[in-house]
């Protein structure tokens, strides 16, 4: 497996991990609110919000990296033609 394939898989896995963390933490916090009351648990909704923010940031950075790699490959092809 090449380094590029490993990095692509890692990026994809870590993005889905943040979604999993957001979903599970939302479910657990909601369960705790329904069973114990919202006085102490409602503040913990920051955790799924932060996980969703991390997922969005990860996707944005992945798209940015792939665009940069495509630009570099294009520049390399142009320089080889000259």
Give mean pLDDT in consecutive 10-residue pieces for the chain, a chain of 82 residues: 76 93 97 94 96 95 89 90 74
Cβ neighbors of 45 (< 8 A, separation 6 or more) are 26, 29
Distance CA 76, CA 48 (A): 42
Alpha-carbon gap, residue 56 to 75, rounded angstroms: 29
pTM exceeds cut of 0.75: yes
**What is the distance in angstroms between the CA of the first residue and the CA of the last residue of the chain?**
32
Cα Rg, the chain, nearest whole Å = 20
Length of the chain in terms of residues written: 82
């Amino acid at each position: 497996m090449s380094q590029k394939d490993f990095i692509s898989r890692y990026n994809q896995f870590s993005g889905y991990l943040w979604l999993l963390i957001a979903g599970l933490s939302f479910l657990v916090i909601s369960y705790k609110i329904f069973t114990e009351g919202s006085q102490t648990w409602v503040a913990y909704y920051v955790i799924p919000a932060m996980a969703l923010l991390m997922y969005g940031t990860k996707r944005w950075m992945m798209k940015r990296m792939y665009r940069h790699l495509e630009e570099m490959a294009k520049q390399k092809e142009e320089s080889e033609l000259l």
